[in-house]
Chain A
Amino acid sequence: MWAYVVRRLLVTIPTVLAVVTLCYVLLHLTPGGPFDAERKVSDAVLANLQAKYHLDLPLWKQYLYYLRDLLHGDLGASFRYADWSVNDLVARALPVSLAIGGTSMAVAAILGVALGITAALRQNSAVDIGVMLVANIGSVLPSFVLGPVLVLVFAIMLPLLPSGGWDDFAPRYMILPIALLTLINVSTIGRIMRGSLIEVLSSNFIRTARAKGLPMRVVVLRHALRPALLPVVSIIGPLAISSITSAIVTESWFSIPGLGKLIVNGASDRDYTLVLGLVVLVTVMAVLLNLLVDLAYAWLDPKIRY
C-alpha cells in the first residue's frame, strides 16, 4: 500500500511536466499575446519588454528558463498583474478558493449522501420523486441563474447577508457562495448515491443480510453503504477540483478573489506565467485528490488491490 502511495506521488512530477509543456505550447499557439494593446508599442520598448520576460528567446529556451525557475518554486512574474509575482497571487487566492470550494464540497457530500439514501430506500415513491426534485435544483438551473436568485432573496429582499465582496474570511461573505456551490454539487452526489445504493441493495449479500433478519438501518449503514459509496467517491475528486479552481461564475458574481478569476483573466489576457502557474497548482491538486480517492476505493471495497 505505501509503496503504491509513494509511486503515485513520484508520478506527480512527470505529470506536472507533461501538463505544463502542453499548456505552454497551447498558450503560444493561441492568437493574441500579452502585449497586444489598443495603442501601438514602440519597437524599442517592445524589445525590452520581451527581454524582461525572456520572450525574445527561442521557445525551447524560454521553456527551459521556466522549468529552472519552477524547480526553485518560482512561478515567475505575472503580465496582467504587473506588480505581483505569480507565487504571491496564487498564495493569496488559493486559501480563498479552498475555503469556499472545500466547505461546499463537505456540505454537499454529507447532504447529497443523506438525500440519496433517503430516496433509494423509498424507491419510486412520492418521497423518492420529491427528494430528487429538490436535490436536482442545482443541476437544472445554471449557476448564473441560481446565484442572482440567492442574492435576490437573501441579500436584497431580506437584507440578511451582503450580496458579495470579501473581507478576510469573514463568515457572512462566505455563506451565499458556499450555498450556491453546495446546491450545484448536491444534485450530482445525491443522484449517484441513490442509483448506486439501489443497485447495491438488490445484490446477493444484502439479500442475505436481510434474510438473516437484520433491521434495514443496520443493513444499510453497515453493509450496503460502503460499496455504494464507490461511485460517489469517484465523483468527489473532480467535483472538488472544479469547485476550487473553476468556480468562476460564483467568484465573479460574488466578487470573491479566488483562483477561478485568476484563471479566466489569465487566459483571456494571455498571461503565460499566471496560467502556467495555475496549471501547475491544479495538476498537483488533481493528482493528490485522485490519489486520496483511489485509496478510498481500497477502503470501501476490500477486494480492490493495488
Chain B
Amino acid sequence: MTTRHKPSLARALAAFAVAAAAGAAVHAAVIPPGTVLAARQEMVRNNGSEPESLDPAYIESVPAGEIDRDLFEGLTSTDHHSNVVPGVAESWKQVDPTTWVFKLRKNATWSNGTPVTAEDFVWSWRRFLDPKTAAKIATTYAVYLANGMEVVNGKKPVTALGVRAIDAQTLEVKTAGPVPFLPAVVSVAQYGPQPRAIVEKFGKDWTKPGNIVSNGAYVLKDWQVNSKVVVEKNPAYWDAANVQLTRVTFLCVEDGNADLKLYQSGEEDYLYQLPPGSYSSLKAQYPREIHNGPLLGLRFYALNNQDPLLKDVRVRKALSMVIDRNILSEKVTADGQAPLYGLAVKGLAAIQQTRYDWADWPMDKRVAEARRLLAEAGVKPGTKLRFTYNNSDYHKKMAIFAASEWKTKLGLDTEMDSLEFKVLIRKRHDGDYQIARHGWVVTFNDATLFLALLQCGSEVNDQRSCNRKADELIEQGNAATDPARREALLTQAAKLAMDDYPVIPLLQYSVPRLIKPWVGGYDEANGMDRYRSKDFYILKH
C-alpha cells in the first residue's frame, strides 16, 4: 500500500488550496510524460450490478453512481486519488460558517449545446429533495442544506431550500449549521445537475438513450438492462481535450466467479470484485494485474445495546476482546484487510484512528480478562448467542470464525441465522437481533459519516447506543473552524463512544481487483473507490 497524506491538516489545506487556485489546473487523466497511448481508447469494465436508475435523483447504489458521475458532473468532482476537484464550479469560498459561494465556469455546456447555469443546480437540487419526487435517498443528503430536512419532510416548500442562483455563473449555498466538508458533499452524483427541459419533456423516459442529455464527460449511447451500459465521449464537455477514453462499456456481473471468467477470457478489462477466498492464488497468478487498496469502509458487528444479555458493557467488551483480528485478516479473509480496534479507518478525513489499549496484549491476557468480565457480569459458559448475517460465503466464513472464537475462548454457543439482505436490514433497523453483521462505507470522505453510526438517535444507529458526551464533542467539532481542532474533537468523540463498546470493529474493507496491464489511471490509494472514466486511459499494447 502506498503511503498517504495524513488525512487531517494536509487534506484540509489541500482542499482550500484547490478552491483558491481558480480553475487553472486541469483535472483529468494525468498521463506521465513519455507514455505511449493506444490508438483505440476503449474500455470494458464490470460495474458490479445493474443500476437501479440513471436519474441522479433516484440513484442509490455505488454502481449507479459510477455511471452517473460520467454522465453528469456536479459542482465538484472526486478524482481517482479521491481528492475533491473542481467540476462545473471552478472555484468556491466559504464566506461564513454556513454560507458558500460557488463560481461556475463559463464554458460548461450540456451535450445539446445549452450552457449549464446556476439555475440548473437550483432546479435540480429542489427536484431531488422535493418529497413529491419521492427520492428515497433524499433524506440522507438533505441534512446538510439549510431547510433541507424541512423540505424533505414536507414542512416547507422547496423554494425555502438553502440554494440560490445569484447570477448565471454564481451559486450560493446555505448549510444547516457549519458543514466544513461541503465541497465533498456536493461531489456526489445525487447533487449533479439534471436537464430541466428534457426531464419535463420525457418524464420517466428521460434517461433512455436518445432522450438523455448530459453535461459530463460522456453521453449515454446504449442501455441494455442486465447486460451493459455504453457511454461515449461527449464532445461538448468543457474538458474534452483531456478525456482519453472514447467509449466505455459498463457490465453488471454480480457473481465474482463469472466476473473472473470474463476477465480471463478477455471480455473485460476491469474486474469489479474477486471471488471470495481467491486473493492469494490470483495474486500469485497475476502479479502485474492484481491490485488491492484500502477502502474507506468498516466491517463490524453491530451489538444490540438494548438486548438483555448485551446491556452490560462488560459482556460487549468481552465479546470484542477475544476475537483474534490477526487471524481474521491473515487467514480467514486473507485479502489484505487491516484489523481494526476503533471506529475510524485509515484514510478517513478529519479524524485520527484510535485503538483499544488491549489491542496489543497477548491473546492469553485478553482471554483471561474477558472471562473475568463475563464472570463479573454473571454470564455463564453455555449461554446462547444469536448471530444474524446476510447469506454470502464471505460473511459466513467470518461469522463461523467469530462463533468459534466465542465458543473456544468463552464457552458461549452461537446460533447462526442467515437471512436475505433486505430482511437483515429490516431486522437491524427494528432492533430484532442480538448480534448482526454490518458494514459501513462512506459516500464522501468525512469522519461525520462514521460518527453517525454511534450518535444518539441517529437513524443509522442500529445498536441503539447513546453517549451524550461524545455527541456533544461531535457538535463542537463540527462548529470548529480550525481543522486541527475539529480533528482533535472528533477523534476524542470517537474514542469516548467506542469505549462503551457499542459495536465490535473488525476489519477495514479493501478492494482486491484485477485490471489489465494496459489500463492506466488506477490508484490503489483511492480510498473512496470512485473512478471517473475520464481518469482512465489505455496504454499501447
Contact = CB atoms under 8 A, between A and B. Distances in A.
A and B touch in the complex (CB under 8 A): yes
Interface of A: 31-32, 35-45, 47-49, 51-52, 77, 80-84, 88-89, 92-93, 148, 151, 155-156, 159, 162-166, 252-258, 261-262, 265, 268-270
Contact of A80 (B52, B264, B421): B52
Q: What does DSSP make chain A's interface, helix, strand, loop or mixed?
A: loop
Given A36-B425, A93-B226, 12 more contacts: A36-B426, A42-B152, A45-B138, A83-B54, A83-B58, A156-B265, A165-B251, A252-B255, A253-B258, A254-B258, A261-B226, A268-B422
B258 A45 contact: no
Given A255-B253, A268-B422, A44 B154 contact: yes
A50 to B, nearest CB: 8
A77 B264 CA distance: 37
Contact of A164 (B204, B258, B459, B460): B258
A84 B265 contact: no
Contacts of A88: 225
Given A37-B425, A45-B152, A163 B52 contact: no
Interface string B254-270: 11011001101111000
Contacts of A31: 423, 426
A38 B62 CA distance: 13
Interface in B226-269: 226-228, 251-255, 257-258, 261-262, 264-267
Contact of B140 (A39, A77, A255, A262): A39
Nearest to A258: B226
Contact of B225 (A44, A49, A89, A252): A89
B280 interface: no
B136 A45 contact: yes
A97 to B, nearest CB: 11
B207 interface: yes
Contacts of A43: 153
Interface residues of B, number: 53
Contacts of B142: 42
B60 interface: yes
B225 A52 contact: no
Contact of A45 (B135, B228, B420, B426): B135
Nearest to B64: A82
B469 interface: no
Residue in B50, B60, B226, B258 whose Cβ sees the most chain A Cβ within 10 Å: B226
A86 to B, nearest CB: 11
22 contacts: A32-B420, A37-B136, A40-B459, A42-B153, A43-B153, A44-B154, A45-B134, A45-B152, A51-B134, A81-B50, A81-B52, A81-B225, A83-B207, A93-B225, A151-B261, A156-B265, A159-B265, A163-B262, A165-B262, A252-B255, A252-B258, A253-B255
A57 B500 CA distance: 44
Contacts of A45: 131, 134-136, 138-139, 152
Contacts of B252: 255
A39 B137 contact: yes
Nearest to A53: B134
Contacts of A83: 53-55, 58, 204-205, 207-208
B132 interface: yes
A174 to B, nearest CB: 13
A264 B226 CA distance: 12
